[in-house]
Amino acid sequence: MALFNRKNNNAPAATPAAVDPALAALSGDYTIDPAHSSIGFTVRHAMVTNVRGSFGEHEGSLKLDGADPANSTAAIDVKIASVDTGIADRDGHLVSGDFFDAEKFPLMTFRSTHAEQLGGDQYRITGDLTIKDVTRPLSIDLEFNGSATDVYGNERVGFEGSANILRSDWGLTWNAALETGGVMVSDKVKLTFDISAIKAATPQA
């Protein structure tokens, strides 16, 4: 099911097609369900293995417009102090001034500015990612996993996706040289998103 219309600039002008009823039914405001969503990362350590982690505390919202999907938006706030790599000492280093400086900059935020369909259920959402005091554009490739009504009657939509960034672009530059060459922590970081969002109830007239 397409969420974002693909524009064909070479196509002749025509009467706009009727909106897909199933797509229109998704229109509305959604709240990201943190209990069934995850925001994580993977980074190369010591040039030979990967360290994976996630942020346990985050909140966000989606606005889906079925009549004009390009108007759909997303906003996410992530609590830096909730980082979890499974090693307490490493987590403590990540929230320190060497990396995120969570005491001074407690949140990482994303605000979307544009969305497009890549084909089928594949999409790309672009926006502004802010880490510490640096804001830079970020594009996230997403797959729409569908919609469903859960056992409690909540209408849900699901997405999963990823993006690769260079952490140095956001001022995360701490590193240590290895005796055998290379560095302790890769500059390249893969961000991963697995999102379940609940539709807000429609007010009764």
Alpha-carbon distance 36 to 106, whole Å? Answer: 22
Confidence band of 102 (pLDDT split at 50, 70, 90): very high
The predicted pLDDT at position 18 comes to: 53
Radius of gyration of the chain, Cα coordinates, nearest whole angstrom = 19
Alpha-carbon distance 86 to 73, whole Å? Answer: 33
Which of residues 120 and 14 earns the better pLDDT score?
120
The predicted pLDDT at position 71 comes to: 82
Instruction: Name the E strands within the chain.
Output: 28-32, 38-45, 49-55, 58-64, 73-79, 83-84, 107-119, 122-131, 134-149, 155-166, 185-199
The predicted pLDDT at position 204 comes to: 56
Cβ distance 58 to 196 under 8 Å? no
6-59 tens-digit pLDDT: 444 454 443 344 556 776 788 899 999 999 999 999 999 988 899 999 999 999
Using the predicted structure, report yes or no on whether residue 105 has a pLDDT greater than 50.
yes
The predicted pLDDT at position 20 comes to: 63
129-143 tens-digit pLDDT: 999 999 999 999 999
The predicted pLDDT at position 13 comes to: 45
Q: End-to-end distance of the chain based on CA atoms, in angstroms? A: 30
Mean pLDDT score across all residues of the chain: 88
Comparing 5-9, 118-122, 161-165, the range with the smallest average pLDDT is 5-9
Show the tokens assigned to 160.
């999963």
The predicted pLDDT at position 10 comes to: 54
Cβ distance 73 to 127 under 8 Å? no
Question: In 10 A of CB 163, how many CB atoms?
Answer: 19
Cβ distance 160 to 145 under 8 Å? yes
